[in-house]
Amino acid sequence: MLSLTLKNIPKKLHARLRESAEKNRRSLNSEILARLEAELAAPVVDAEAQARMLRAFVARLPRADHGKVPRYKRQGRA
């Protein structure tokens, strides 16, 4: 198994990692490995493509007549 040494870890980050390790009942080393694996396994998201898809989706939604909202609220439908 390979080894890796981390240097110059800020005290606050070290404390947060230590707390997280204790909460998850892991050693500090295991906590860091678990977080690295989770980060590297996460899918890469193309934010611009997602934004374009969201704008296209919103453009297809029907327009709401906000003047009718109070009436619907009084009827218990909104």
Q: What is the pLDDT of residues 26-55, one digit of tens each?
A: 999 999 999 999 999 989 999 999 999 999
Residue 19 lies in a domain: yes
What mean pLDDT value characterizes the chain?
92
Residue 23 lies in a domain: yes
- Reported pTM: 0.56
Residue 45 lies in a domain: yes
Residue 69 lies in a domain: no
Confidence of residue 16 (pLDDT cuts 50, 70, 90): very high
Residue 50 lies in a domain: yes
Confidence (pLDDT) at 35? 96
Query: How many distinct structural domains can be found in the chain?
Result: 1
DSSP string across 37-65 = HHHHHSPP--HHHHHHHHHHHHHHSPPP-
Confidence (pLDDT) at 17? 97
Q: Determine the straight-line distance between the first and last CA of the chain, rounded to whole angstroms.
A: 59
Residue 67 lies in a domain: no
Higher pLDDT, 66 or 18: 18
Distance CA 68, CA 73 (A): 9
